[in-house]
């Protein structure tokens, strides 16, 4: 089982850089980078809400669940 983070996809669709998103959301570049690369272990709902507001998207646009072959 894996949660896939599509932050980079939504940023590309909105033509927004990591620097722009960081300024809009008030989250450090390093923390956004960890989230963008999928290395984050958790995300606060308030952070998710801020990112969704800045990117004009839904949480489901940013997060996806992927089954692994081990889950069967």
Contacts of residue 7, Cβ cutoff 8 Å, sequence gap at least 6:
32, 35, 36, 51, 62
**What's the pLDDT score for residue 68?**
79
What does pLDDT average to over the chain?
A: 92
Statement: the pTM of the whole predicted model exceeds 0.85? yes
The number of domains in the chain is 1
Question: What CATH number did the domain enclosing 24 receive?
Answer: 1.10.260.40
Q: How confident is the model at residue 41 (pLDDT cuts 50, 70, 90)?
A: very high
Per-residue confidence (pLDDT) for residue 28, from 0 to 100: 95
pLDDT in tens, 44-60: 999 999 999 999 999 99
Quote the domain boundaries for residue 37: 2-71
At 43 the pLDDT is 93
First to last CA, the chain: 10
10 and 55 Cβ atoms separated by less than 8 Å: yes
> 31-38 long-range CB contacts below 8 Å, 24 or more apart?
32/7, 35/5, 35/7, 36/5, 36/7, 36/8, 36/11, 38/4, 38/5
């Amino acid at each position: 089982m894996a949660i896939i983070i599509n932050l980079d996809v939504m940023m590309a669709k909105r033509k927004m850089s990591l620097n722009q998103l960081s300024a809009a959301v008030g989250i450090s570049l390093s923390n956004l980078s960890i989230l963008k690369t999928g290395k984050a272990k958790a995300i606060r709902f308030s952070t998710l809400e801020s990112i969704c507001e800045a990117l004009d998207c839904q949480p489901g646009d940013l997060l996806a669940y992927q089954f692994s072959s081990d889950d069967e």
